Amino acid sequence: MSNTFGKIFSLTSFGESHGRGVGGIIDGCPAGIELDIPFIQNELNRRKPGQSNLTTSRDEADAVEFFSGVFDGKTTGTPIAFSIWNAKQRSGDYDSMKELYRPSHADYTYQLKYGIRDKRGGGRSSARETIARVVTGSIAKLALKQLGIKVTAYTSQVGPFQLDKDYSAYDFNEIEQNPVRCPDPEMAGKMAALITEVKTKGDTIGGVVTCVIKGVPVGLGEPVFYKLHATLGAAMLSINAVKGFEYGSGFDVNHLGSAVNDVFYSKNGEIRTRSNNSGGIQGGISNGEDIYFRVAFKPVATILKNQHTVDTSGNEIEFKAHGRHDPCVLPRAVPVVEAMAAIVLLDMYLLSKTNKLSQ
Amino acid sequence: MSNTFGKIFSLTSFGESHGRGVGGIIDGCPAGIELDIPFIQNELNRRKPGQSNLTTSRDEADAVEFFSGVFDGKTTGTPIAFSIWNAKQRSGDYDSMKELYRPSHADYTYQLKYGIRDKRGGGRSSARETIARVVTGSIAKLALKQLGIKVTAYTSQVGPFQLDKDYSAYDFNEIEQNPVRCPDPEMAGKMAALITEVKTKGDTIGGVVTCVIKGVPVGLGEPVFYKLHATLGAAMLSINAVKGFEYGSGFDVNHLGSAVNDVFYSKNGEIRTRSNNSGGIQGGISNGEDIYFRVAFKPVATILKNQHTVDTSGNEIEFKAHGRHDPCVLPRAVPVVEAMAAIVLLDMYLLSKTNKLSQ
Amino acid sequence: MSNTFGKIFSLTSFGESHGRGVGGIIDGCPAGIELDIPFIQNELNRRKPGQSNLTTSRDEADAVEFFSGVFDGKTTGTPIAFSIWNAKQRSGDYDSMKELYRPSHADYTYQLKYGIRDKRGGGRSSARETIARVVTGSIAKLALKQLGIKVTAYTSQVGPFQLDKDYSAYDFNEIEQNPVRCPDPEMAGKMAALITEVKTKGDTIGGVVTCVIKGVPVGLGEPVFYKLHATLGAAMLSINAVKGFEYGSGFDVNHLGSAVNDVFYSKNGEIRTRSNNSGGIQGGISNGEDIYFRVAFKPVATILKNQHTVDTSGNEIEFKAHGRHDPCVLPRAVPVVEAMAAIVLLDMYLLSKTNKLSQ
Amino acid sequence: MSNTFGKIFSLTSFGESHGRGVGGIIDGCPAGIELDIPFIQNELNRRKPGQSNLTTSRDEADAVEFFSGVFDGKTTGTPIAFSIWNAKQRSGDYDSMKELYRPSHADYTYQLKYGIRDKRGGGRSSARETIARVVTGSIAKLALKQLGIKVTAYTSQVGPFQLDKDYSAYDFNEIEQNPVRCPDPEMAGKMAALITEVKTKGDTIGGVVTCVIKGVPVGLGEPVFYKLHATLGAAMLSINAVKGFEYGSGFDVNHLGSAVNDVFYSKNGEIRTRSNNSGGIQGGISNGEDIYFRVAFKPVATILKNQHTVDTSGNEIEFKAHGRHDPCVLPRAVPVVEAMAAIVLLDMYLLSKTNKLSQ
């Protein structure tokens, strides 16, 4: 069941870039959640290509159709199946690449693993698969909203341009005000200029998405193997092009324990920590502070430049990709990161209801 | 089943730091693996406390006892249960800390999640739980050895001291020659000196473990949600004190796609890549190149210095931990990282056998 | 993940009787299986209503559409999504029943479990859900065929009419020659007459399906909790209207051990048993003999007669169902039983590939 | 994970008949359950051999030892590991049978599945494995007691002697008053005499256990694949020697729908059914009525008579088993059936807590 994510609230996804569509089945969704279709569609629009000149110019409708699990506008507790049909199938763009292994793509590994692969575009390894995650995540968000939990992600680095302050220094309302989805307007401008420059060259660039989750109650996360951060990490690392995950103090390891420890204190009868190097998670369980983490994305592998590679017979060749591709995946990755985080949080919330006999 | 890791080859672990023991049940172990007990015990010895003056001075025997699943020295395909009994239970060391929440420990989160917690030491959140991982990982290594797969980890950073070369620049035979488990003897000396200094102050320091896996066939990893790196990441992030995971180019995102893409070429009829920024994994599936990743560890939370915190009634108090603790978890974390990597690799190998009807 | 069945080869199903359609996602299907669409459609036709005057007169097209996981006519190892769209939605038939709980239906339990239910027909509890099982089972059959495994089911009892001989006494070619799917033509005639009589009265009748699986290699079944017969039993009991499952000697318990034990002997160098009271399964693992089991179906709960019940406010009322319904589910249940058996067998075959390191 | 049963409240079991012991790890046990050790031991005593002259004369202590997951006498939400050490290992009894395949045992199938097997006694396929189920079931019962749910099983048939009334006709207090565990004292006497006679002949006899569950709230069971009865069936069929499962009207299929349907009515504001042919389960979900089902057990395969078989080289031979064995498994199977039912009910209760966002 490698295409299923989540233990209670779970997504089983399907679809290839140039097949009939991509979609999935959401199982274990609590009954009675009002399905806010415009909200779901808006989340999809944040992910879809063609939304700005920083992304690929492919203009896909990406309208979601629900097949089941909803009655009178509410979830019924039964499986919610959905699809986003692939509208424009310009697989001709890929015809010339059917018989070669594109560098840093999954063509070669899929072919050897399965002995067969869908040669149209990225097939199953296409980032188009993340559509199913965004739909599912948007429904998770609708449930989390009732619990007072809010997930917000933003672009914090593109190439060399990196936000240097803690997330609390930024106004999250700025995020959707620019096409890069960076809360610092000045930095957003620099990032946008860089992406445009890279695009002109037919090249690509990577970066980092930061995600912050507020309003999480104490007690989410299932030790020892499904610690909250381990599950968030697994979720993020399963997104196309992700190369790294860190939460709280992360890879910034050059500090003494006495400097990093988060001291508890009492605030209006509530137990809180003075610092938050733990990133809101201790022993794998949420401690009521903000959860925050960072996700590294590599540059998109498809570049519009000559590259060397081998064909499927093993001959070395030179080729150049055509078509429309993202110069930088970061802006469109933001809603995907949020979606996966929302799925994890809702699943962990539901699991936590089983920790005691009555609650 | 939050204490179970793995889909086919799986570990279900149990145990608290000051209970009867820690151990687990390994299910799905292929039949016919020769159980090399001295090897398994040696792996445990690499993890155990008291092995050098850089680790805690607790000297625990940590001898493993197997209960089932083995006949005539070989695995039978039935569950392998084992325990490492807790020999020295100086829980008195913790008596004074029973009624307070230690900073950056899991006392508070366990208490609120479950409404009850084992107050002796870290209870279930103790790093002693990783013993079960090492036993399981050592059996996985015995199986992987037959497949030609080798997992090697080492300390690559302690505080500010960081190896600056690629893993291929180091002689892995050096790793076990120094108590830090760093393949660069000179750097190992600096790291050891720092750890000793930190220990003298009653403080702690974090760092990074690098892990390299050689001999992996093409085709391991189950897209889309159980990509090989996502599963490795989940495994690593589930280890106590881990704050980050990156593989291949990881967080080093300031490069263009044209510079990062791994170009395929043909070498003696085999398809290889000229660079390996993909870290041996493309589309979540191993491509036959070396797999490598880095794991960040925070400083141990138990320091032997005065700290502020709150007691279980919410009153702010000051306390100082006593007992014997690691000033730096890195040297002992190396075998744990290897163990979890071996578990993932064997599991993914077994899963890959189901990708085709016959193979 | 209560709508997912299977560990490696798995079906996640969706759909309600009067929604957009029913379907599912098949995950873990081995790559390279030729998708024989006419065969799959024929299996669906064996299940569909309106195929004879013994079944409901609803005439549904039940044509399957595949969305993903297939390339050049073969499975690719990626998820196979499919749907059978609901063509004729005469939910008006049910309008009068929206606000009452039909006896022996799931209206009441769904309502209380979820606090909401799809009031159009049986919603998720409709036997229309079994369509997804038949599609998945037909693909499993295509894979099993390559392994020499064949699954055959037939109607062995309707009301008082019961086949009194062992399955080996019947010619399986007769099964599809009559609308009851009974291999004994004379008995089939009696059963058909009874069903017609019951139908005329607006009533319904139950019965038993027998299933035989030939060509199963020794070694399928995963002890201790996923014994082959336990998994077959779970599969059968999950089918609508099933009330019992027995394999081998089953509930026929009035025999001594000395009479029931299956004696081993050697036949052309192969180890076989002289009798087969074990039903082809010993210790939960197939032993190479024919597997056979029986599945009891209750009469369909929808009858076209006056019945007492309560409405959703708890008032006692009298009502009479209208519409088109099956007087006897047995003939259409035969392909569903086969489908679930095929899913279990293929899954167990794939799992058995992981029992040893190499095989 | 074939040795794990349950989705939230789960048992992973281990152990062979003549190894170090049998036991398991219970994961997902709600925190705060008081561990009533005398009750648990009493449940084990109901299962243990040597309790009467109707069972094997092996007198095993079967005392349970808990390793983890309990603090101050209460469950903590962490894994509960336990073992019952094998005290008397008279594996010499089996020495002569090491190199042959006993009829209707699992020797042959284990050998071929895994290429190796524990030749001491039944190894993993021994009914001694059910000890772990009884321990886990007894803890489940402690939790269910708080919810008002009570599980009771009894012997309803031994060979030809069969209770002919509905469970409600019997006084459950009689069950533990006789060694057969039959609530009808007169019938118990006949059954006991038969078992004694069969034992004298060195033969064995099978029978049926009936189980009744009272106090189940409406809403337990997870459609479509984990219907309450499907999961109960899977649980029962996984017990050694079980050949059949039926609930409610079961295999008694010769009735019209109009006679079998359970009519709803209103009783003091509560919705109830006048009959209970549904066995307390509709659409796979509990409806608040008593749940009841029947489980068929074959005669024990080990008989103390000459039998033909083949040795491990395929030669036909004659042999006679020695040692102490049960002439009839029924009396000792009663607590095992109860245990598995309790595990299923608790698991389904915990799962049902996730059906709605708040409850």
Nearest CA-CA partner of D264 in C29, C312, B294, A203: C312
Instruction: Sort out which chain C residues have CB atoms less than 8 A from A32's CB and list them.
Output: 114-116
Q: For the segment A133-163, what is each residue's pLDDT rounded down to a tens digit?
A: 999 999 999 999 999 999 999 999 999 999 9
Q: For the segment C156-183, what is each residue's pLDDT rounded down to a tens digit?
A: 999 999 999 999 999 999 999 999 999 9
Q: What is the mean pLDDT of residues B160-171?
A: 97
Residue-wise pLDDT tens for chain D (359 aa)? 799 999 999 999 999 999 999 999 999 999 999 999 999 999 999 999 878 878 776 666 789 999 999 999 999 999 999 999 998 655 555 566 778 999 999 999 999 999 999 998 889 999 999 999 999 999 999 999 999 999 999 999 999 999 999 999 999 999 999 999 999 999 999 999 999 999 999 999 999 999 999 999 999 999 999 999 999 999 999 999 999 999 999 999 999 999 999 999 999 889 999 999 999 999 999 999 999 999 999 999 999 999 999 999 999 999 999 877 899 999 999 999 999 999 999 999 999 999 999 85
Nearest CA-CA partner of C37 in C67, C71, C79, C65: C65
Partners of C295 in beta bridges: C209, C245
Q: Which of C12, C24, C68 minimises the CB distance to A4?
A: C12
| D60 contacts: CB under 8 Å, gap ≥ 6 | D48, D49, D50, D86, D87, D88
Nearest CA-CA partner of B29 in B137, B134, B148: B137
CB half-sphere exposure, C274, CA atoms < 13 A: 13
Strands (E), chain A: 4-5, 10-15, 21-27, 64-66, 70-71, 74-75, 80-85, 100-101, 150-158, 161-162, 207-214, 242-247, 264-267, 270-273, 281-282, 285-286, 291-297, 306-311, 316-320
Tokens of D258: 């109009």
- Contact of A154 with A181, CB cutoff 8 Å: yes
Using the Cβ of B146 and the Cβ atoms of chain C, whether some distance falls under 8 Å is answered with yes
Listed by number, the residues of chain B in 212-241 with a beta carbon closer than 8 Å to a beta carbon of chain A are 218-219, 221-227, 229-231, 233-234, 237-238
Tokens of B13: 């672990």
Say if the Cβ atoms of B353 and C356 lie within 8 Å.
no
Average pLDDT of chain C is 94
Q: What is the mean pLDDT of residues C14-25?
A: 96
Say if the Cβ atoms of D27 and B16 lie within 8 Å.
no
pLDDT of residue D126: 93
Q: For the segment B130-145, what is each residue's pLDDT rounded down to a tens digit?
A: 999 999 999 999 999 9
Q: How far apart are CA C230 and CA D239, in angstroms?
A: 9
Q: Which residue of C has its CA nearest to A74?
A: C116
Query: In whole angstroms, what separates CA A101 from the centre of its chain?
Result: 26
Residue with tokens 């409240």: D9
**pLDDT band per the 50, 70, 90 thresholds, residue C94:** low
Q: Which of A31, A143, A353 minimises the CB distance to D353?
A: A353
Query: In whole angstroms, what separates CA C235 from the centre of its chain?
Result: 8
Q: How far apart are CA B213 and CA B151, in angstroms?
A: 5
Listed by number, the residues of chain A in 1-40 with a beta carbon closer than 8 Å to a beta carbon of chain D are 8, 28, 30-33
Nearest CA-CA partner of A151 in A207, A208, A210, A235: A210
Q: Give one word for D221, left, alpha or beta, with left for phi > 0 and alpha for psi -120 to 50.
A: left
Say if the Cβ atoms of A12 and C7 lie within 8 Å.
no
- Number of other residues whose CB lies within 10 A of the CB of residue B112: 18
pLDDT of residue C351: 98
Q: What values do phi and psi take at B47, rounded to 5?
A: -90, -20
Q: How far apart are CA C129 and CA A173, in angstroms?
A: 45
- Contact of D68 with D84, CB cutoff 8 Å: no
Whether B202 has a pLDDT exceeding 60, the answer reads yes
A88, burial (CB in 10 Å: exposed 0-12, middle 13-18, buried 19+): exposed
Q: How far apart are CA B299 and CA B322, in angstroms?
A: 17
pLDDT of residue B57: 65
- Contact of A68 with C16, CB cutoff 8 Å: yes
Instruction: Sort out which chain B residues have CB atoms less than 8 A from D4's CB and list them.
Output: 1, 4, 12, 27
Say if the Cβ atoms of D237 and C227 lie within 8 Å.
yes
Say if the Cβ atoms of C234 and D234 lie within 8 Å.
yes
Q: What values do phi and psi take at A22, rounded to 5?
A: -125, 150
Q: Which of A143, A354, A356 minimises the CB distance to D357?
A: A143
Tokens of A349: 């919330």
Nearest CA-CA partner of A235 in A337, A142, A154, A135: A337
Using the Cβ of D261 and the Cβ atoms of chain C, whether some distance falls under 8 Å is answered with yes
pLDDT of residue C218: 98
pLDDT of residue A98: 79
Please tell me which chains touch A, using 3 or more CB pairs under 8 Å as the contact test. B, C, D
Say if the Cβ atoms of D19 and B114 lie within 8 Å.
no
Strands (E), chain D: 4-5, 10-15, 21-27, 64-66, 70-71, 74-75, 80-85, 100-101, 150-158, 161-162, 207-214, 242-247, 264-267, 270-273, 281-282, 285-286, 291-297, 306-311, 316-320
Instruction: Sort out which chain C residues have CB atoms less than 8 A from A131's CB and list them.
Output: none
Helices (H) and strands (E) in chain A — how many of each?
7, 19
Q: What is the 8-class DSSP label of residue D62? A: -
Pick among B113, B124, B163, B228 to test the A interface (most A CBs inside 10 A): B113
Whether B99 has a pLDDT exceeding 80, the answer reads yes
Q: What Cα–Cα distance (Å) separates residue A222 from each residue in A161, A188, A284?
A: 36, 37, 7
pLDDT of residue B49: 85
Q: Which of C8, C351, C357 minimises the CB distance to B146?
A: C357
ipTM of the complex as predicted: 0.97
Helix (H) or strand (E) holding B21: strand B21-27
Q: What values do phi and psi take at A80, rounded to 5?
A: -100, 105
| C4 contacts: CB under 8 Å, gap ≥ 6 | A1, A4, A12, A27, C10, C11, C12, D225
Residues B67-98 as b/e (b if ≥16 CB within 10 A, e otherwise) read bbbbbeebbbbbbbbbbbbbeeeebebbeebe
Using the Cβ of A351 and the Cβ atoms of chain D, whether some distance falls under 8 Å is answered with yes
Q: What values do phi and psi take at D337, rounded to 5?
A: -60, -45
C200, burial (CB in 10 Å: exposed 0-12, middle 13-18, buried 19+): exposed
pLDDT of residue A59: 63
Q: Which of B109, B225, B244 minimises the CB distance to A285?
A: B109
Q: How far apart are CA B32 and CA C352, in angstroms?
A: 14
Taking chain A (359 residues) in consecutive chunks of 10 residues, what is each chunk's mean pLDDT? Answer: 95 95 98 97 92 73 93 97 83 68 95 94 93 98 98 98 97 97 98 97 97 98 98 98 98 97 94 98 98 98 95 94 88 98 98 91
Residue with tokens 């500010």: B160
Q: How far apart are CA A252 and CA D326, in angstroms?
A: 65
Nearest CA-CA partner of B124 in D35, D27, D34, A263: D27
Q: Which of A237, A244, A352 minimises the CB distance to B251?
A: A244
Question: Percent of chain B beyond pLDDT 70?
Answer: 96
Q: For the segment B267-316, what is each residue's pLDDT rounded down to a tens digit?
A: 888 999 999 999 999 999 999 999 999 999 999 999 999 999 999 999 99
Tally of structural domains, chain A: 1
Using the Cβ of B304 and the Cβ atoms of chain C, whether some distance falls under 8 Å is answered with no
**pLDDT band per the 50, 70, 90 thresholds, residue B73:** very high
Range of the domain at B10: 4-358
pLDDT of residue C189: 97
Listed by number, the residues of chain B in 38-97 with a beta carbon closer than 8 Å to a beta carbon of chain D are 65-69, 71-72, 74, 76-81, 83
Q: Which of A31, A146, A356 minimises the CB distance to D355?
A: A31
Question: Percent of chain C beyond pLDDT 70?
Answer: 96
Query: In whole angstroms, what separates CA D310 from the centre of its chain?
Result: 31
**H helices of chain B, where?**
37-47, 107-114, 130-147, 185-200, 228-237, 257-260, 330-352
Which CATH number do you get for residue D323? 3.60.150.10
Q: How far apart are CA D353 and CA A352, in angstroms?
A: 10
Nearest CA-CA partner of D217 in D143, D269, D276, D291: D291
The distance of D72 to chain C (nearest Cα, Å) reads 32
pLDDT of residue D28: 98
Using the Cβ of C130 and the Cβ atoms of chain D, whether some distance falls under 8 Å is answered with no
Q: What is the 8-class DSSP label of residue D34? A: B
Q: How far apart are CA D5 and CA C228, in angstroms?
A: 15
Strands C100-101 and C80-85: unpaired
Partners of A139 in beta bridges: none
**pLDDT band per the 50, 70, 90 thresholds, residue B89:** low
3-state class (DSSP) for residue C263: coil
Q: How far apart are CA A36 and CA D249, in angstroms?
A: 44
- Contact of C219 with C352, CB cutoff 8 Å: yes
Using the Cβ of D160 and the Cβ atoms of chain C, whether some distance falls under 8 Å is answered with yes
